[in-house]
Structure 1
Amino acid sequence: MHQPHDEQAVLNYLSWQKLYEEEKPFQLFSVVGGGHLPDQKTTNLIFMEGEIESIHDVRTKEKQYALNKQGFAFRNQPTHVGDFGVRDEIENVYLPEMERLLRREVEGVDQVYFFDWRIRKNVELTGRTAIDANDKMQYLLPAKHVHIDQTPSAVLGRMRLHLPEQADFLLRGRVRIINIWRPIIDVVEDQPLTFCDARTVEPSDLVEADHVRKHYNGSNFYAKPSNRYRWYYMNRQRKDEVTLLKMFDSDPNVEAKYCLHTSFAHKVVPDNAKPRESIEVRALVFTYEGDDAL
């Protein structure tokens, strides 16, 4: 067993601009008008490097962290998927595995709906000039800005989009979005994921940004820098270890309603380290009205 290894890292935050008082922050993931509009821009987001921060290793203390307290948790969970490059294996083997995990490890689960999953690789996107957000087999780079994947308005939009006939009923109960993150190489030696204790984040730290796609408009939160944040990661996370991250929780009584997160670079990377590869699945998790989930 490796001993805990804290890191010092510089993370990327949103830099507040006076422009945002008049123009909402946004990112455009689809080309408008064939790409020929003279003033077209794809984003108005400006990011900045924060101060050097301590990233605390959870090794030997994994059980101290909980979704309702810090906003993240860790579980040992092997998988029977043989090849994460095969879509059928992800959809027919992996997603059912993750549903069983959620039903076993998360309280009050009546219904699970996976609305997205993504493969990420720390490998440059050679030969690609654009990301097709609708192609799930097109891998993405590790996310390198501090963020939360969904805002409350985006959660409502997801429910109306994916579960229109059930949405009104489901909204009367508890609604959560929980992401499950797993390495798909033997061990992560660079660009691990780091998670911020939700109790150290204030609503005023967060800025909502629209995500505009061809078939769906959503939104997420980016974070401004703060000296209150407390960051954690799992050093040398293995393929049989998963991280659960909460993106949203409608329950007003829990401490953690969301989890800021991002990847970061290790100070020292072994010469023979494999590029980080991972899969993240995103689940709407419902507790029906009247269920005593807590």
Structure 2
Amino acid sequence: MQSTMCQPHDEQAVLNYLDWQKLYRTEKPFQLFSVVGGGHLPDQRTTNLVFKEGGVETIHDVRGTESQYSLNKQGFTFRTYPTRVHNFGVRDEVENVYLLEMEELLRREVEGIDQVYFFDWRIRKNVELTGKTAIDANDKMQYLLPAKHVHIDQTPSAVLGRMRLHLPQQADFLLQGRVRVINIWRPIIDVVEDQPLTFCDARTVEPSDLVEADHVRKHYNGSNFYAKPSHRYRWHYLNRQRKDEVTLLKMFDSDPEVEAKYCLHTSFTHHVIPEDSKPRESIEVRALVFTYDENDES
């Protein structure tokens, strides 16, 4: 009932895309999330990524039509699902209460789930960091700024790496069935008016639009996709998303039959932000979701 209180409102926005460089033909795109040690090293770069603004694009508001979007068709969907957590700044509350709630949500709303493993979660705030010059990717209590580049969090090789890292004894068995990575995104303020999340219909994205980039951390190397601009993309968002509303986004799906294998996404800036609006705060959890091979006899 509450979702009808807000009229749909499409936005015009400029998004940030990867700017293809000739360098990438011989050097893979990369980003370091650990400080490069030793001032004597000849290469002190932390990244070779170059981004550029795309043209003005329409961000279509899904408010009132949320039920028309699914993980298997567009790569994203929406659910109303309140949480019992009141303080997301307490790690124990997130890991012992919120993750259990999100597993209940996934098992209730996503078909064919036999096993769920949460491998990451982070808080984001649109407030500049103070007192620190570098992000500690291993510190869950250090919030991140909203992501402002069009991307997909996990590449197929990164998913395999996550499985080998977190579930080494089960990985071979789990790879025989269906493997998905699903992110769950929720505002942790009453309503988002500043830096909402936008999601691209997976059916408007071609594999050639995506460029794999290594993400190098102190204890783990992963990779994600950044996107080059395309006139085909069709973008959506949930206007004035509330704390009791969650967005599910698919990052990977091993099922060859589904239309949506992944979901490009990023934050964007509204044309008009009310003067009294709060900076966006949100939590995102990342889940490996498994469906066992129905032909397995073990």
Q: Pick the TM interval, shorter chain.
A: over 0.9
Q: Per-residue CA shift, 1:129-149, capped at 9, x if unaligned? A: 000000011000000000000
Note the 1:124-273 alignment, pairs <5 A. Answer: 124-273=128-277
Looking at structure 1, the residues matched to 237 and 37 of structure 2 have their Cα atoms a distance apart, in angstroms, of: 42
Q: What residue in structure 2 maps to residue 87 of structure 1?
A: 91
Q: What residue in structure 2 maps to residue 22 of structure 1?
A: 26
Is 1:66 aligned to 2:66, yes or no? Answer: no
Matching residue's letter, 1:56: H
Q: Per-residue CA shift, 1:195-218, capped at 9, x if unaligned? A: 000000000000000000000000
Looking at structure 2, the residues matched to 96 and 69 of structure 1 have their Cα atoms a distance apart, in angstroms, of: 27
Aligned residue pairs: how many?
Answer: 291
Q: What residue in structure 2 maps to residue 4 of structure 1?
A: 8
- Compute the displacement of 1:290 (Å): 1.0
Looking at structure 2, the residues matched to 262 and 45 of structure 1 have their Cα atoms a distance apart, in angstroms, of: 16
- Compute the displacement of 1:82 (Å): 1.4
Q: Per-residue CA shift, 1:70-118, capped at 9, x if unaligned? A: 0000000000001000000000100000000000000000000000000
Structure 1 segments unaligned to the other structure (5+ residues) = none
Q: Determine helix, strand or coil for the equivalent of 2:78.
A: strand
Looking at structure 1, the residues matched to 120 and 259 of structure 2 have their Cα atoms a distance apart, in angstroms, of: 26
Note the 1:21-40 alignment, pairs <5 A. Answer: 21-40=25-44
- Compute the displacement of 1:247 (Å): 0.1
Looking at structure 2, the residues matched to 91 and 227 of structure 1 have their Cα atoms a distance apart, in angstroms, of: 40
Task: Say which is worse superposed, 24-33 or 185-194, in terms of deviation.
Answer: 24-33
Q: What residue in structure 2 maps to residue 112 of structure 1?
A: 116
Q: Determine helix, strand or coil for the equivalent of 2:252.
A: strand
Matching residue's letter, 2:107: R
Matching residue's letter, 2:67: K
Task: Say which is worse superposed, 24-33 or 55-64, in terms of deviation.
Answer: 24-33
Task: Say which is worse superposed, 158-167 or 25-34, in terms of deviation.
Answer: 25-34
Q: Per-residue CA shift, 1:251-273, capped at 9, x if unaligned? A: 00000000000000000000011
When residues 170 and 185 of structure 1 are mapped into structure 2, their CA distance, relative to the original with a 3 A threshold, is: same
Looking at structure 2, the residues matched to 211 and 176 of structure 1 have their Cα atoms a distance apart, in angstroms, of: 20
- Given that residues 36 and 46 in structure 2 are in contact (C-alpha distance below 8 angstroms), is that contact kept between their aligned partners in structure 1? no
Matching residue's letter, 1:261: H
CA RMSD of aligned residues (A): 0.8
Q: Per-residue CA shift, 1:7-57, capped at 9, x if unaligned? A: 000000000000000000000111233454242100000000000000000
Match among 267, 284, 293 for residue 289 of structure 1: 293
- Given that residues 152 and 226 in structure 2 are in contact (C-alpha distance below 8 angstroms), is that contact kept between their aligned partners in structure 1? yes
Looking at structure 2, the residues matched to 116 and 35 of structure 1 have their Cα atoms a distance apart, in angstroms, of: 32
Q: What residue in structure 2 maps to residue 275 of structure 1?
A: 279
- Given that residues 205 and 232 in structure 2 are in contact (C-alpha distance below 8 angstroms), is that contact kept between their aligned partners in structure 1? yes
Matching residue's letter, 1:222: Y
Matching residue's letter, 1:109: I
Q: Per-residue CA shift, 1:139-160, capped at 9, x if unaligned? A: 0000000000000000000000
Looking at structure 2, the residues matched to 84 and 36 of structure 1 have their Cα atoms a distance apart, in angstroms, of: 41
Q: Determine helix, strand or coil for the equivalent of 2:102.
A: helix
Matching residue's letter, 1:164: P
Matching residue's letter, 1:255: E
Q: What residue in structure 1 maps to residue 60 of structure 2?
A: 56
Identity of aligned residues (%): 86
TM-score normalised by the chain length of structure 2: 0.97
Q: Determine helix, strand or coil for the equivalent of 2:225.
A: strand
TM-score normalised by the chain length of structure 1: 0.98
Looking at structure 1, the residues matched to 138 and 186 of structure 2 have their Cα atoms a distance apart, in angstroms, of: 21
Q: Determine helix, strand or coil for the equivalent of 2:249.
A: strand
Looking at structure 2, the residues matched to 133 and 35 of structure 1 have their Cα atoms a distance apart, in angstroms, of: 22
Matching residue's letter, 1:128: K
